[in-house]
Every structure is written in structure tokens, then in C-alpha cells.
Amino acid sequence: MSSSGPPGQTGADFEKRLDEADTSVASFAEDDKSLYRVVQTFLRANPTTIPTLVLAISILAFGLIAPRFLGPGALSTVLQQVTVVGIIAVAQTLVILTAGIDLSVGAILVVTSLVMGNLAVNLGLPVWLAVPLSIAVGGFMGWLNGVLVAVIKLPPFIVTLGTLSVFTALKLWYSGSESIRNVDIVEKAPELLWFGEAIRFGGFKLTYGSISLVVVAIVVWYALNRTAWGRHVHAVGDDPDAARLSGIPTRRILISVYVVAGVICGFAAWVAIGRVGSISPIAFDTVNLGSITAVVIGGTSLFGGRASIVGSVLGALIVGVFNTGLSLAGVDDYWQMFAAGTLVIIAVALDQWLRRATQ
């Protein structure tokens, strides 16, 4: 069979031309190295940078506007105010990491606190038994949310909006719309108030509840970043279909996230009892919005796959700093709500901007 090349051209000629050919590999890497792009990529890789800067600037600004803000009393108040919201924000972070949302966390907290108070105060169970049983109730309510989302395939927003109403009705029925008074708790189950105790450093007061917030954040951070479960949670939040095809039991992981969130809410109920000193079926009615606000401000993406436990705690602190600082500055309550809403809108806009760093 004759060669297809020109007459007189040998194989060596072909090889010579092949050696002289361009051997560079086509590259599709992005060449945009502008400062804008570098900053965008850095902030996406380090989501806690923005809330850290916002918190530092806020503290300095309110310190100049209202010098009392930098006093140990005001700072102690901020830490105490954000303790419960911060713990709930950690639970909310887990759910939002999976591209979901839990509107029932506040109701789970209150139901769990009522069960805890009823078992320990009204029924006389030892606190060491009443507390874990009550936390288990919180885990069960989280499990119910998880089953409806992962197995029945209902949207998380609709599921938790429905269970919010269900749990709210249950707490009013279970409590008879009656509170458990501080004097009864002190007399029959004083251990329930332990997280309200404080360590004093001069005029600064650090409660055990605030310390528990740090402990919960560290434990959950470790679970998300140093365990196989945490890697699976990130994978499910980033791309559930790809996670399932890679062999990750997505249903089980998703259910476990809601269960862990419910358990954290149950623990937060114990902290809340110590924080307030009593147990009321209508307490903490704004904790749902507060937890979502803290998570969004802290840099967790509402679209899943990217979360920051540290950022959520910082977000809760930012909200507490704004509320306390504006109060000390004499700003009306509705402007405080205005500020909180503005922070949420700015945080979501930043999230959308950072998402474009990978597009």
C-alpha cells in the first residue's frame, strides 16, 4: 500500500517534522490575577475574615460612640445575651451546610426546656437523669425533621415551618401555658441553673453558659473538619447527587445532621434555663431569626457546601454588639431591627459575590 505523503519523503522526514512541532499543552486555567479577583478568592477560602473585621470595627465604633460599651459590664452583657443564640446558631449551621434550613430550632429548645423542668421540678427526677432524657427529646424532634426531609423528600423550609407550628402547639399544651418559677427550680432542682453561675474577673463576669458556647463550637468544628462524618456532610451539602454516586449514604447523613441539631438545641435548653432563671413556654420566640442571622453574617452559604462554625459564633457576637451598642447609644428598638436586617442583606449579597469566585 503506497504512502500518502509526497513522493520521495521518508519516515525519518516525518519524525523530524514531528520533533519540530509545538509540544505545549493547551491550558484552560483562569488568567485573571487582578486584585479584585485575588481578594474575592481569598475571602471565599477564609470565610471568617469578614465577620472578624466587622466585629472588631463594630466594637471600636461603639466604643467611640458610647464609651460605656467598652466597660466590663457591657461586654459581659453581650456575652450573656448571645450565649443561647450562639449555641442554636451552631445547630443551624449544620442544617444550612446541607442546603437546608430549620425554622423549628426555637420551638425545640422551648419544648426541651419544659420537659427538663417538668421532669426535674414537678416529677422530682434527679437532674442527671432529667437532662439527658430531655436532650433525647430534642434529638427525636430533630430526627422527625430529618426523616421528612431525607426520606419523604419534602423541602426543608416547608417541613420545619410545619413542625414549628406543631412543636409550638405541643409546648403550649404540655405546659398548660404556665411557667416554672425560679423559686421552684432553686428549691427542687438548682442544678438546672448551673450555667447561669459566673466566674468574675474584677467587673467582668463570664458565665458557664458562655464557656459552654465555646466548648460546643469546638466540638462541632472538630466533627465537621476532622472526621469522616464531617466530610460526608460537606459533600452532601455541596452536591448530594455526586455524594450518593460516590457511595455516601446521603439519607443517613442528612438525618444525622437534623438529629445532632436537635441534640444541640436540647443542650441549649439547659443553658437557657440558667441564663433566664425560669422556664416559660413563650420564651426565646426570636431565637429562630437570631440563629439564621448569625449563621448568614458568619459566612455560611445558604446554598450549602460551605460553612463556618467560628463564623456563626462571630455572627452571634456581631448581632449582640449591635443591639447592646445601639441601646447604649440611645437608638430606638426599631432602628436596631433595621440594622440587623441590613446586616443580613449585606451578608447574603457578599455570599453571592463570593460564589462567583468559582464560576
- Cell reading at 99: 442546603
Strands 204-207 and 198-201: antiparallel
Q: Which residues of 133-161 are buried (b: 16+ CB within 10 A; e: fewer)?
A: ebbebbbebbbbbbbbbbeeeeebeebbe
Alpha carbons 233 and 178: distance in angstroms, whole number? 39
Alpha carbons 193 and 208: distance in angstroms, whole number? 10
Is the Cα torsion angle 200, 203, 208, 214 positive or negative in sign? negative
CA 229 → CA 147, 151, 222, 252, distances in Å? Answer: 18, 19, 10, 11
φ/ψ (deg, to 5) at 204: -90, 135
The answer as to whether 23 is a domain residue is no
Alpha carbons 265 and 112: distance in angstroms, whole number? 8
CATH number at residue 279: 1.10.3470
pLDDT (0 to 100) of residue 275: 92
Alpha carbons 298 and 220: distance in angstroms, whole number? 15
pLDDT (0 to 100) of residue 109: 97
DSSP string, 100-122: ---TTHHHHHHHHHHHHHIIIII
**302: which DSSP letter?**
T
The answer as to whether 20 is a domain residue is no
Is the Cα torsion angle 336, 342, 343, 345 positive or negative in sign? positive
Nearest to 343 by CA among 45, 34, 44, 54: 54
The answer as to whether 212 is a domain residue is yes
Alpha carbons 275 and 338: distance in angstroms, whole number? 26
Question: Which residue is listed with cell 398548660?
Answer: 176
The answer as to whether 1 is a domain residue is no
- Cell reading at 334: 426599631
pLDDT (0 to 100) of residue 107: 95
The answer as to whether 194 is a domain residue is yes
Strands (E), the chain: 198-201, 204-207
What angle separates helix 72-97 from helix 309-328, to the nearest 10 degrees? Answer: 140
pLDDT (0 to 100) of residue 44: 72
Residue type, 134: S
Q: Which residues pair with residue 200 across a beta bridge? A: 205
- Cell reading at 89: 446558631
The answer as to whether 260 is a domain residue is yes
Phi-psi region of 157 (alpha: psi -120 to 50; beta: other; left: phi over 0): alpha
Alpha carbons 168 and 152: distance in angstroms, whole number? 22
Alpha carbons 313 and 321: distance in angstroms, whole number? 12
**24: which DSSP letter?**
P
The answer as to whether 265 is a domain residue is yes
Contact 113, 272 (CB under 8 A): yes
The answer as to whether 15 is a domain residue is no
Number of domains in the chain: 1
- Give the range of the structural domain holding residue 146, as residue numbers without chain letter: 47-358
pLDDT (0 to 100) of residue 14: 52
Alpha carbons 182 and 277: distance in angstroms, whole number? 6
Contact 135, 112 (CB under 8 A): yes
Q: What is the pLDDT along the chain (359 residues), one digit of tens a residue?
A: 444 555 555 555 655 565 665 555 555 455 556 777 777 777 777 777 888 888 898 899 888 888 888 888 888 888 998 999 999 999 999 999 999 999 999 999 999 999 999 999 999 999 999 999 999 999 999 999 999 999 999 999 999 999 999 999 999 999 998 999 999 999 999 999 999 998 988 778 899 999 999 999 999 999 999 999 999 999 999 899 999 999 999 999 999 999 999 999 999 999 999 999 999 999 888 899 889 989 988 888 888 888 889 999 999 999 888 888 888 888 888 887 888 788 888 877 877 776 665 55
Q: Which residues pair with residue 205 across a beta bridge? A: 200
- Per-residue three-class SS string for 172-207: HHHHCCCCECHHHHHHHCHHHHHHHCEEEECCEEEE
Alpha carbons 229 and 245: distance in angstroms, whole number? 17
Give the distance from CA 9 to its chain's centroid.
71
